[in-house]
Amino acid sequence: MNRLLYPALSLLALVSACQTTAPRQASTTTTSTVAQSQGVYQYRDEDPSVKPFFSDRVGTTGRNGMVASAHPEASRVGVEILKMGGNAVDAAVAVQFALAVVYPGAGNLGGGGFMVYRDAKGQLATLDFREKAPGKATQNMYLDSLGNVRPGLSISGHLASGVPGSVDGMVQAHGRYGKLTWQQVLQPAVDLAEKGFSLTDRDARGLNGIKYDLKKINPGKAYFIKGNPADTLRWGKDDRLVQADLGQTLRRIQAQGRAGFYAGETARLLATEMQRGGGLITEQDLADYKSVWRDPLKATYKDLTIITMPPTSSGGVALVQMMRFVEPFPLRKWGWNRDSTVQVMIEAERRVYADRAKFLGDPDFVKVPVPELTSYPYLKTRWTDFNWAKATDSKNVRGGTIPGYESLETTHFSVVDRDGNAVSITTTLNGGYGSRVVVGGAGFLMNNEMDDFSIKPGTPNMYGLVGNAANAIAPGKRMLSSMTPTIIEKGGKLYMVAGTPGGSTIMTSVFQTVLNVVEHGMTMQQSVNALKFHHQWLPDKTIFESGAFSERTQQALQARGYVLERLTNTLGRMDCILVRPDGSFEGASDPRADNTAMGY
């Protein structure tokens, strides 16, 4: 029979129902134990050689503070700020600007993002510093005269960029919560730009990989290119990258705050660059930009309280929906990535992404029914076509019905200070190195966030996500995002800080990382290390990291009609922090890249 979502059903009755309706797993299993600093995780599989982890990295511990970010230099900066007496927001601002120097693929001045904040007393705030469409933007700006999408215009080059929000966001966050001076938290980034830093192997490969695009889109400029543009030199590990123009831009921001970016010399340089390449952003657009403080999205999952980002991010709504979809099921009993566990998670993801396409957009422009979308009665109606014996066909799944409603590259970092103040920030240029446009004279890359709008209803963006009218382009409108910065409480106390980059896979990566800890007994680092999978409604397939599914699980899912695709690359770049029972912090950074957690 089909399973329904019954929030009022007793746990005992629910487990009994699941045991009689869920597909039976084979009884011959081998149990291997993986133990780390806290707890023991039991991994059951028919093949003892199968491991659930990308690596055996062990988490970092600290008692006075923790920073987990995408680059070791940025994490070092954050810890130094904490040691100077700065709080979590001071450290977060310093990390954001440091990433703009050392991690140009996603760290940025020319992008935007979201912040979730919880202070030591439990007071909450969320800040939306997402980019906006320029004032001259139009709904059909990427379509030709026949209404067809003009390929590439929303992805590369000057027309792909929205008005940046990152600098204003950091100014707003520091102004409300910072402890150290603005000059103090900017200085590490200034030093990194002017004195340079040593490239990691991944840094070097990334810059070498975009050399052709940089030369094509920025003729005559040498930014991020080793030697002169005509040279064939390639960056290597430990080469030193000095960015003098970026250093001057950071000094203007350091001296003048918001005006150092949104007015004066930097604004002039940015607007001139846009005009040179046919972009739309003007000095007036920059002057008009403002971040928005929004009410946090709060929801319960068993004994946890999830604190996450409301729209313009779709990530918070999606995370709450997914967690509540699977809440009645005994995932812990079934086990990590066993076929029953994976099936209910895939079906939750499928329905969530369909809702995203229909309902989600900028709440300053469209009505986004967040309470309805995350309510148990609504989620119950979305689950009525679930069938254990057969995968749901995405062609038959649309966004739900709500009465009265009218219708990959990012970076994340998590910070906790010694007092228990916590910050979760996800920020982005959208694609790796954004639009590949470098602002002449200012030395920073611009975003290609305009592609996150629904440039034509039903047409997928660069991540394969489909949108409709709620996310249509309009002047001054914020484009929809998948970013999911999240803080979790347990027993009213800080428990976890989490987030990741990954485009459309952000929401499902955070979802799995949280479940790995709270349902499967993993440490924070094990959960980050754990192999992941992803389904996003359309296209109707499940992608998974090699090793994430055993052969038995794959066969069981395929027999029910699930289309599975093994990846040659990886999912997620998690940077998380867990408060352990003794009050110490476990920092968990993703071994899939240069991500680094540091504590003290």
Q: Indicate which residues carry an active-site annotation.
A: 410
CA distance 294 to 311: 9
Residue 237: CB atoms within 10 A of its CB come to 12
- Report residue 517 as tokens: 């800890």
Give the count of beta carbons closer than 10 Å to the beta carbon of residue 238: 11
Instruction: Return the HEC string of 68-108.
Output: EECCHHHHHHHHHHHHCCCCHHHHHHHHHHHHHHHCCCCCC
In three-state secondary structure terms, 420 is coil
DSSP state of 228: S
Query: Which H helix or E strand runs over 251?
Result: helix 244-256
Identify any residues that bridge with 198 across adjacent strands, giving them in sequence order: 240
Strand partners, 544: 533, 566
Helix (H) or strand (E) holding 348: helix 339-359
Full DSSP string of 263-320: SHHHHHHHHHHHHHHT----HHHHHH---EEEPPEEEEETTEEEEE--TTBSHHHHHH
Nearest in space to 334 (alpha carbons), one of 562, 7, 566, 42: 42
Q: Nearest to residue 116, comparing CAs of 498, 437, 423?
A: 423
Residue 375: CB atoms within 10 A of its CB come to 18
Tokens coding 164? 């940046």
> Can you say whether residue 538 is alpha, beta or left, with left for phi > 0 and alpha for psi between -120 and 50 degrees?
beta
Task: Report d(CA 594, CA 24) in Å as an integer.
Answer: 40
Burial of 553 by CB count in 10 Å (0-12 exposed, 13-18 middle, 19+ buried)?
Answer: buried
**b/e burial code for range 189-213 (CB count within 10 A of at least 16 → b):** bbbbbbebbebbeebbebbbebbee
Inter-CA distances, 199 with 72, 590, 595, Å:
11, 18, 14
Q: Maximum distance among all alpha carbons in the chain?
A: 71
Q: Which of 41, 61, 115 is nearest to 577 (CA)?
A: 61
